[in-house]
């Protein structure tokens, strides 16, 4: 009878150690790091897109200033035609930039929401694992396995494995914070790109001419 109880106890210890398998945690951390790197790369791309947008607007302004400076005589002769051409050019540029920005914003927001869901699910999974390990330890103690000489050493192993879980959970919280910071920056860049009032800006340029 005692041998049977000891075997069940050892099976429980093995199960808990399997939960804490280092390969499992290594893969989990690599997955989180990959997501963080991907978000960082997306933020860099958004920043480059934003600078490209600023450069495009600056080039438009410079181009129109050159037109005004070099064609004063022509402007006085065909002002209506010139204004119509400028208006068409501004509308075309505004439509193209707005379409591209809206598409990028929708895709990135969808990706960010997916990553947030994965983070929450992963964190909940770790919490559940810690709780399961704790409940198994309590269950073993309640069954009075402490009568066996090998129990103190075995319980020490269980406590060490549980500490690994808790340490990893703390690492997960730090990784989660890093991911949320990347997501916050990503959404901020999206809001800038999506919130640029191109129509108003280009209208001002048009009437300046």
Reported as a single tens digit per residue, the pLDDT across 58-77 is 777 777 666 666 655 555 55
What pLDDT sits at residue 53?
A: 72
What pLDDT sits at residue 26?
A: 66
Distance in angstroms between the alpha carbons of the first and the last residue of the chain: 97
Q: For the chain, what are the domain ranges?
A: 2-208
Closest by CA to 25, choosing from 147, 181, 169, is 169
Question: How does pLDDT run across 124-165, given as a tens digit for each residue?
Answer: 776 666 666 666 655 655 555 544 445 555 556 666 666 666
Question: How does pLDDT run across 171-209, given as a tens digit for each residue?
Answer: 666 666 666 666 666 656 555 555 444 444 445 444 444
What pLDDT sits at residue 196?
A: 46
Give the whole-angstrom CA distance, residue 202 versus residue 209.
Answer: 11
Query: How many percent of the chain have pLDDT more than 70?
Result: 13
What pLDDT sits at residue 206?
A: 46
Give the whole-angstrom CA distance, residue 34 versus residue 31.
Answer: 5
Is residue 144 left, alpha or beta, with left meaning phi > 0 and alpha meaning psi from -120 to 50? left
Computed over every residue of the chain, the mean pLDDT equals 63
Does the model's pTM come out above 0.75?
no
pLDDT band at residue 42 under the 50/70/90 scheme? confident
Is residue 3 left, alpha or beta, with left meaning phi > 0 and alpha meaning psi from -120 to 50? alpha
Query: How many percent of the chain have pLDDT more than 90?
Result: 0
Q: Please check the confidence at residue 80 and state whether its pLDDT lies above 60.
A: yes
DSSP letter at 20?
T
What pLDDT sits at residue 7?
A: 66
What pLDDT sits at residue 204?
A: 45
DSSP string, 34-58: HHHHHHHHHHHHHHHHHHHHHHHHH
């Amino acid at each position: 009878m005692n041998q049977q109880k000891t075997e069940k106890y050892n099976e429980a210890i093995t199960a808990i150690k399997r939960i804490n398998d280092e390969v499992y945690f290594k893969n989990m951390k690599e997955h989180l790091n990959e997501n963080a790197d991907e978000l960082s790369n997306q933020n860099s791309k958004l920043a480059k897109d934003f600078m490209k947008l600023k450069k495009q607007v600056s080039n438009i302004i410079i181009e129109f200033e050159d037109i005004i400076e070099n064609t004063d005589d022509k402007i006085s002769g065909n002002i209506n035609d010139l204004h119509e051409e400028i208006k068409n050019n501004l509308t075309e540029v505004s439509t193209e930039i707005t379409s591209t920005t809206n598409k990028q914003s929708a895709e990135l927001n969808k990706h960010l929401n997916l990553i947030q869901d994965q983070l929450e699910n992963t964190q909940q999974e770790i919490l559940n694992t810690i709780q399961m390990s704790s409940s198994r330890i309590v269950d073993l103690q309640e069954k009075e396995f402490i009568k066996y000489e090998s129990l103190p050493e075995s319980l020490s192993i269980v406590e060490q494995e549980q500490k690994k879980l808790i340490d990893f959970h703390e690492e997960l919280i730090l990784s989660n914070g890093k991911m949320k910071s990347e997501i916050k920056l990503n959404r901020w860049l999206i809001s800038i790109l999506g919130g640029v009032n191109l129509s108003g800006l280009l209208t001002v340029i048009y009437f300046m001419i």
